[in-house]
Amino acid sequence: MNVSANSIKFSPLRGDFFSTLNQRVNEYFKSNNISRYANSEMKVKTAFMYLLYFAPYILMITGTISNGWLMLLLCFIMGCGLAGIGLSVMHDANHGAYSNKKWVNQLLGYSLNVVGGNAFNWKVQHNVLHHTYTNIHDVDEDISPRGVLRMTPYSDWKIIHKFQHIYAWFLYGLMTFVWVFIKDFVRLIRYQKDGLVKNQKADIREEWTILIVTKVVYLIYMVAIPLWILPVNGWQWFAGFFLMHYIAGFILAVIFQPAHVIDGTEYPLPNEEGRMENSWAIHQLHTTTNFANKNKILSWYVGGLNYQVEHHLFPNVCHVHYRHISKIVEQTAKEFGLPYKSEPTFIGALVGHGKLLKELGRNPKTQLTPAL
């Protein structure tokens, strides 16, 4: 079934699940006199993630550390910082959840451009397509066919998919590297063609200018300056640069994938009229899974994205509040007889992701039960 985002309509609200939930969450913030935006914890984390990325770069560029093996270690740390900026800073900002000031969100959202990506593309792909049409085949780009990866039972099967539960883990590390040099350009062309740029009321000339200028700036400080200043040759530089992106890509993939592509997930499809069975909020409960909610260290580093259910229902709330409102979400879902999917451990979530990859790769006629 080939569908487009414009043709899909969610069912009207059934019962008062989301209105009740929304009222309870709003009451939590009001009664506790808490802002739903960033607090001091979030601001400290923001500074930490920037330092994790830029401090190793400065140590290398200034010649403070010049030993080859130590420089590789610093590139590894930069990769952790790159993922941290993506998970904890730009993610909230580009959802408008970091601050009640639009300019603050825009400024911090451009953190993605600073580290080689593109904020506009990300907001279309993530905020619009993924958050609205979660796990819907042919619309949610997070599960779209990716050649050698099959993330949905409705994608074409190839014999190589039989081994995807093995090789997928190695490919995940290429995510940000591909974004920087290929995907951002391909996506902006496609989004313009599909009318998504127009739908966002964006000026395509301005977006192309921002994309090209920020890519050039990134290449200057990440490629030209290191090759000019550092005592390394081209291959040595590439080893460090690739390691940084590989670590970042792998971290991002293993955090995002288990939330939606995991054993027990659902892939609802619209009917012939493009109508989904459930309302948007209930759809999120059927297609999203939490994991490792008791792991405070993991939750801190990954920007609360292990509370993926809360994030999908309240993307405009800063992630530092997810652990507090999760009890409200779980209780309300159970009251209305709705699923609240949660995997107790991170390892368990990865195992569940691997199981589904194997199932989707083993049988070309694999059909998970859709919510039709």
What dihedral angle (degrees, nearest 10) is formed by the CA atoms of 203, 204, 210, 216?
-170
> Could you tell me if 285 and 333 are in contact, meaning their C-beta atoms sit under 8 angstroms apart?
yes
Q: pLDDT in tens for each of the 372 residues of the chain? A: 556 666 889 988 666 899 999 999 999 999 999 999 999 999 999 999 999 999 999 999 999 999 999 999 999 999 999 999 999 999 999 999 999 999 999 999 999 999 999 999 999 999 999 999 999 998 999 888 667 999 999 888 999 999 999 999 999 999 999 999 999 999 999 999 999 999 999 999 999 999 999 999 999 999 999 999 999 999 999 999 999 999 999 999 999 999 999 998 999 999 988 899 999 999 999 999 999 999 999 999 999 999 999 999 999 999 999 999 999 999 999 999 999 999 999 999 999 999 999 999 986 664 444 443
| Helix/strand/coil for 319 | helix
Residue 149 neighbours by CB under 8 Å, 6+ apart: 161, 164, 168, 171
Model pLDDT, residue 371: 42
Give CA separation, 25 vs 94, 101, 135, 253, in Å: 21, 21, 25, 29
Give CA separation, 53 vs 57, 211, 320, in Å: 7, 21, 21
> Could you tell me if 117 and 188 are in contact, meaning their C-beta atoms sit under 8 angstroms apart?
no
The candidate with the shortest Cα–Cα distance to 116, out of 92, 140, 67, 82, is 82
> Could you tell me if 242 and 173 are in contact, meaning their C-beta atoms sit under 8 angstroms apart?
no
Helix residue ranges per DSSP H, the chain: 17-31, 40-61, 68-84, 91-94, 102-109, 111-114, 119-122, 131-132, 164-172, 175-178, 184-193, 196-199, 204-219, 225-229, 234-256, 280-287, 296-301, 308-313, 322-335, 346-362
Tens of pLDDT, residues 29-82: 999 999 999 999 999 999 999 999 999 999 999 999 999 999 999 999 999 999
Model pLDDT, residue 108: 97
Structure tokens at 272: 């012939």
DSSP β-bridge partners for residue 342: 290
> Could you tell me if 108 and 93 are in contact, meaning their C-beta atoms sit under 8 angstroms apart?
yes
Length, in residues, of the chain: 372
pTM for this model (two decimals): 0.93
In whole angstroms, what separates CA 13 from the centre of its chain? 27
Q: Cα separation of 114 and 94, whole Å?
A: 14
